[in-house]
Structure formats: C-alpha cells, structure tokens
Structure 1
Amino acid sequence: MTRLPIVVAIPTKNEAANIASTVRSAIGHFAAVVVVDSDSTDDTRALAEAEGAEVVPYAWDGAYPKKKQWCLDHIRTDIPWLLFLDGDETPSGQLLLELRRIFLDGRPIRPAAFDIPLRYWFAGQRLRHGHTIVKRALLDRTRARFPEPDDLAAPGMGEQEGHYQPLADPVHRLRGPIEHLDLDPVRTWFERHNRYSDWEAWLEAHPEVREEIRTAKTRQGQLFHRAPFKPLLSFGYAYVYRLGFLDGRAGWDYALAMSFYRWQIGVKAREAGRAAARGGNGG
C-alpha cells in the first residue's frame, strides 16, 4: 500500500492509556509517525516505540515557539505536510480514503491547510450531535504557522498553543473525521479544562491579547468569542440547537460540562478584576 506523503506528529505527555491505539492507527498509512514527548513518567515512549513510532523528546524553554510550532520547524522537515493527532486520536477510515484521493492523484494541492472535524467521545460514549469542534490539523508547514500572541505570562497552557488555529490561506474543510476517544477517567477532562479556564480568564483581563487571538479562530469561534451569556449560550447551542439531547445522558453531561467551563472562565475573570481593582485602590 502506498503511504501518504504526510508525517503524523503526536504531541504527548503521559498518554500510556491511549498511545498504542493512536500509533497503530497511523502506522502503514503515512510516510512517518513521530511521537513528540514531554518527559512522560509513564510508559508512553516505550509503548509508542513498540508500535513502530519514532519518539522525539521535547522540553519547552518557556518561550515561543511552543510545542506544535516546534514540530512544524523540526520534525521530518523533508516532508512538507504534517498531520497533528493528539495521543487519544485516530484517523477514521473515511478520512484516510479522503486523504488518498487528495494526495495520491498527482494533482497539485492548492490548500495550505485542512480543517478536520472531530468525532468526539465523552465519559465513554460517542457524541453524535452536540459536539462540533473542527481542528486545523493538517498543515503544509511551508505555508502555515501558529500565532505567537503575547500570552506567555498567562497561566494554564504552558507548552501548549492556546485555543486558536494555525494561520494559513487558503484552507479547505474535509468531511472524514478524526476519532477522539479518550480512555482516561473523566476527571482528567475537568482537570484540563480547569487549567484552560485559567488561560481564558487571563485573556479577559488582557483585551489586546484576547483580540489578537480572536482573529486566529474559526468564524464560529470568532462569533462565540464576542457573545454574551456564554454559559447559557454554550449549553443551548450544544444541547438544543446541535441536538445534543439525542445523545441521551452523555449529551446532557457534555453540554453541562462545557457550560460549567464557560462559567468557570467568567468567575475567574471577575475574581481577577476585583483583585486588580483592590490593588489599584491600594496604590
């Protein structure tokens, strides 16, 4: 089978529960599969190597570029196209067929990047309706780059790029999804989003950085970025408008969790605002 002229980069840190299935899903389909690991303390590296992946260590120096841009700059630069997969993601059969039609028919590839929908699982159940995330995950590294907003002082993200898209033009959306199946306990979802909400709340106090990041989001993300009443809007969008109620209890739990995440951001931003006001009054 002819391999796709794409390198798969899998940024990891303690993904032993998921990494074997992720690497296994990509090996044999792509020109290279590289796990970029940030000092995992579990068996992530050994499991990835056992499945045939190349493992590259990564240590963040506290500055830009962060981890994904570092991958674009350093991982198998002889191959222009790079597909990012999280340690708990796998390309669907539909996506693989779509990529073969695009990359193996001999025609020039006009887009500089491809947006790919996620088929998301939450608390052990696949969401068929309420989740609508699309990732700009497949990039021509010669024509795409992640933004470098002035957010290095913000808590919550560390080595990871924030919730914004890499910059590229033009961009084409694919139909085949990436399967996002997280086998970790659901508490890890809340732990991650607690950190993410720290970053989002910090942005509320730094509107110039917040606006810079808004321009690097999808059209849907830009609209939501400015919307009021985000917790209610988030719940209504996922559970009602996107028919999340058809996913049963999982749809309810997910919509409520995302609403709670938006509520966390607001509470933390207001707390930071009060602390800044007290500091200003005290000065």
Structure 2
Amino acid sequence: MNKLPIAVAIPTKNEGLNIAEAVKSVLGHFEAVVVVDSHSTDDTAKIAAECGAEVVMYTWDGGHPRKKQWCLDQVRTDLDWILLLDGDERLSPGLLAELRQVFADPDAPRPAAYDIPLGYWFSGKRLRHGYTIRKRSLTDRTRSRYPEVGDLDAPGIGEVEGHYQPVAETAGSLRNPIEHQDLDPVTAWFERHNRYSDWEAWLEHHPEVKEQVRRVKSRQGQLFHKAPFKPLVSFAYMYVYRRGFLDGRAGLDFALAMSFYRWQIALKSRGVPAS
C-alpha cells in the first residue's frame, strides 16, 4: 500500500498514556510519523520510539515560533503537506480512507488546508451530539502559517499556540473525524482547562491581542467570541441546541464542565480575590 505524501507531526509532553494509540493510528499510512517531544518526564519518547515513530526533541526559547509552527518549519520539510495530531488524538479509519481519495491524484488541485471534525470523548464515552469543533489540522506548509499573536507573556499556554487556527489561503473540509480520546483521568482535563482559562482571562485585559485571536479562530469560534453570558450560552448550545442530552450522563457532564470553564474565565477576568 502506497503511503500518503504527508508528514504527521505529533507534539507531545507527558503523553505516556496516549502516545501509543496516536502513533499506531498513523504508522505505515504516511511517509513520515514524527513525535516532537518537549522533554517529557514520563515514558512518552521511549514508547513512541518503540512503536516505530521518529522522535525529535523541542525546546521552546520563549518566543516565536511556538511549537506547532516549529513543526511546520522543521519536520520533514521535503513533504509539503503536514498533519498535526495531538498526543491524545488518533485518526479514524474513515479519515484514512478519505485522505487516500483526496491524495489519489498527485496533480489534482487542492486548497491550502483542510478542516477536520473532532470526535470528542469525555468520561469514557464518545460524544455524538454536543461537540461540534473542527480543527485545521492538515495544511500545505508552503501556503499556511500560524499567526504570531502577541500573547507570549500570557499565562496558561506557554510553548503551544492558543485556541486559534493556522491562516491559509484557502481551506476545504473533510467529513471523517480525528478521534480525541484522552486516556488521562478527568482531573487532567480540569487541570488543563484551568490553565486555558488563565490565558482566556488575560486576553480580556488585552483587547488588541484578543482581537488578533478572534480573527484567526474558526467561524464558530468567532461567533462565540462575541456572545454575552458565555457560561449560559455554552450550556444551552451544547446541551439543548446541539442535543447533548442524547449523550446521556456524559453529555450533561461535558456541557456542565464547559460552562464551568467559561465561568472560570469570567471570574478570573474580573480579578475577584479568592478570599
């Protein structure tokens, strides 16, 4: 079977529970599978190498480029197309088949990037209704780039780009998902989103940077960026409008968790003291 002319880059840090599944989902299907590790203190790099991935180390210097753009600049630059896959993600069989169709003709015209739906798992269950995010994970690096947003001093994000998309000349959409199935305990989800909320709250006090971020978010992200009463709107959108209630207890838990995340951002941005 011919390999897809795409480099898969998997940025990681302490993804020991997840990395094997991520690597196995792409190995043998792509020209290159490279794990870009930020000096993990667990067995992430060792497990990735044992699974057959190439492993390279990344050290952030505190400036641009951040980690994902560094991948676009440095990882197998002999291949124009690069797929960025998080350490807790894996490709679905349907997406692999769809990519083979898209790249069947090497001379066919293609957009500069593809937005891919994210199949999200929460509390051990695949959410079928309430989650609707699409990620611009597949790009032609010669025609796309992550913006250099002025948030280097913001807390909570660090070496990896925040919640915004790479900018591309044109973008298409794929139908089949990347599966986001984090095997870490749910406490890790809350710890991660506590850091994200620090970044979001910082943006509220830096409107010029907030506007930079808004312009490079997805269309859905741009609309939500302007919404008032975000905790309530978030819950109503996910649980009612997108019928998250059909996902049972996991759908309720996720809608509440995301609403709590939005509440954290609002509380932190107001600078309310803890006591």
Residue of structure 2 in register with 1:45 after alignment: 45
- What residue identity is the alignment partner of 1:221? G
Residue of structure 2 in register with 1:279 after alignment: none
Residue of structure 2 in register with 1:266 after alignment: 266
Residue of structure 2 in register with 1:78 after alignment: 78
Residue of structure 2 in register with 1:186 after alignment: 186
SS at match of 1:26: coil
Measured in 1, the distance between the counterparts of 2:69 and 2:108 equals: 24
Measured in 1, the distance between the counterparts of 2:188 and 2:254 equals: 14
Q: Show structure 1 runs of 5+ residues with no match.
A: 275-283
For the Cα contact (< 8 Å) 1:27–1:53, is it kept in 2? yes
Residue of structure 2 in register with 1:278 after alignment: none
Measured in 2, the distance between the counterparts of 1:164 and 1:50 equals: 32
CA deviations 1:72-113 (Å, max 9, x no partner) are 000000000000111111111111111101112233232000
SS at match of 1:31: strand
How far does residue 123 in structure 1 lie from its aligned partner after superposition?
1.2
Residue of structure 1 in register with 2:113 after alignment: 113
Residue of structure 2 in register with 1:4 after alignment: 4
Identity %: 68
- What residue identity is the alignment partner of 2:8? V
Measured in 1, the distance between the counterparts of 2:213 and 2:108 equals: 31
Residue of structure 2 in register with 1:149 after alignment: 149
SS at match of 2:270: helix
How far does residue 260 in structure 1 lie from its aligned partner after superposition?
0.3
The within-5 A match list for 1:57-76 is: 57-76=57-76
How far does residue 219 in structure 1 lie from its aligned partner after superposition?
1.1
Measured in 1, the distance between the counterparts of 2:221 and 2:180 equals: 20
Residue of structure 1 in register with 2:158 after alignment: 158
Residue of structure 1 in register with 2:103 after alignment: 103
Residue of structure 2 in register with 1:246 after alignment: 246
- What residue identity is the alignment partner of 2:50? A
Measured in 1, the distance between the counterparts of 2:181 and 2:233 equals: 26
How far does residue 220 in structure 1 lie from its aligned partner after superposition?
1.0
Measured in 1, the distance between the counterparts of 2:62 and 2:71 equals: 16
Measured in 2, the distance between the counterparts of 1:105 and 1:148 equals: 34
SS at match of 2:31: strand
Residue of structure 1 in register with 2:257 after alignment: 257
The within-5 A match list for 1:222-237 is: 222-237=222-237
Measured in 1, the distance between the counterparts of 2:10 and 2:109 equals: 23
CA deviations 1:34-82 (Å, max 9, x no partner) are 0000010111111100111000000000001000000000000000000
Residue of structure 1 in register with 2:140 after alignment: 140
Measured in 1, the distance between the counterparts of 2:204 and 2:188 equals: 25
Moved more, 102-111 or 175-184: 102-111
The structure having more radius of gyration, on CA atoms, is 1
For the Cα contact (< 8 Å) 1:103–1:109, is it kept in 2? no
How far does residue 208 in structure 1 lie from its aligned partner after superposition?
0.6
For the Cα contact (< 8 Å) 1:157–1:195, is it kept in 2? yes
SS at match of 1:35: strand
The within-5 A match list for 1:121-140 is: 121-140=121-140
Measured in 1, the distance between the counterparts of 2:127 and 2:198 equals: 26
Q: Show structure 2 runs of 5+ residues with no match.
A: none
Measured in 1, the distance between the counterparts of 2:214 and 2:22 equals: 31
Measured in 2, the distance between the counterparts of 1:169 and 1:110 equals: 11
